[in-house]
Structure 1
Amino acid sequence: MARLGLGREAGDAAARKVMVVAEGTRESTTALQYALSHAILEQDELILLQIGNPSPWRNAFSTFLKRPMIGEEGGGGGAGGGGGGAGEGEVDFIEEMKRSCKVAQPNIEVRIVRAAVVEGKDKAMLILSQAMSLGIDVIIIGQRRSLSTMLGYKRGGGGNVRGTRMIDTVEFLIENSPCTCVAVQRKGQAGYLLNTKTHKNFWLLA
């Protein structure tokens, strides 16, 4: 239970594909930090999935770049620490994510997958289709506590695709992913609050 069925045991040699939904947000940063510290083993492949426009994101990702990742020394400065046009505040955040992953865990394979938005297909379905086509074993996604998730909106219309708009993207992925989907929230500096299909509001110390 402590590993939520992710197979992170010392003797577990089976390589897995772990996908982190990578966006220029704090929630996405939290998901990546959890993945690196609690979900990824050396033999696993980490896939960073970017949905939508690949152009640089502005300051939404700056806190990630300024904060050392697991395994980085504080004196080295994050990927954005002082480099490249301080006034501009633009970075290719997913490339910086990949770089920080290699600093934190040099032996893991990290791959970037960029998926274009498809008209008529919402974000949750796009993530699911990518997960299935890539043969993903674990999806890790940051979760923001919104009013809809707190109230637990249910999907209407007998589970059809249109009904997914009635429920948070993360909740839809948890309930419908063929593989394990872990939603991650940061709880102060003490740890993470995790949600999966079988574990709700599971507290894990950082």
Structure 2
Amino acid sequence: MKVEIRRLEGKEKEKGEKIVEEAKKQQVTFLVVGEEKKPPVWRLVKRWGWKKRCSQAGVLKYCLEKASCMTIAVKPKNRKLGGYLITTKRHKNFWLLA
């Protein structure tokens, strides 16, 4: 099995499209999309500063809906309990304690 890890940086609106396009181009069979947890201060600044924005959750949802391959979205649950929320096309917010 060949595994490649890539990090995409850029404008929020274009991320989902770029990820799906690159997955098709590379003929990916299994796509795992993650979310970087930001500190609470960053979330407050983002909420107050930008009225119209595409959230990271929007990118994950776009990839889940539009990618032609099997796609899993992974988000950290919280700092106290730990674990991750895993979402696929069929299952939403399945909690994995790891």
Fold match, TM over 0.5? Answer: yes
Q: Name the counterpart of 2:34.
A: 142
Question: Letter of the aligned partner of 1:136 in structure 2?
Answer: V
Shift of 1:140: 1.1
CA distance in 1, matches of 2:84, 2:68: 24
Length-normalised TM-score, structure 1: 0.33
Shift of 1:202: 0.5
1:144–1:171 Cα change, 3 Å: farther
Q: Give the secondary-structure state (helix, strand or coil) at the position aligned to 1:203.
A: strand
Q: Name the counterpart of 1:50.
A: 7
Shift of 1:45: 1.3
Shift of 1:144: 6.2
Q: Give the secondary-structure state (helix, strand or coil) at the position aligned to 1:168.
A: helix
Q: Alignment identity in percent? A: 30
Measured on the aligned residues, the alpha-carbon RMSD in Å equals 2.8
Q: What is the number of residues matched between the two proteins?
A: 78
Q: Name the counterpart of 1:101.
A: none
Unmatched 5+ residue regions in structure 2?
38-53
Shift of 1:194: 0.5
Considering Cα pairs closer than 8 Å and 6+ residues apart, tell me whether 1 or 2 has the greater RCO: 2
Q: Name the counterpart of 1:173.
A: 63
- 1:194 matches 2:86: yes
| Structure number with larger C-alpha Rg | 1
Q: Give the secondary-structure state (helix, strand or coil) at the position aligned to 2:6.
A: strand
Length-normalised TM-score, structure 2: 0.64
Unmatched 5+ residue regions in structure 1?
1-43, 53-116, 146-164
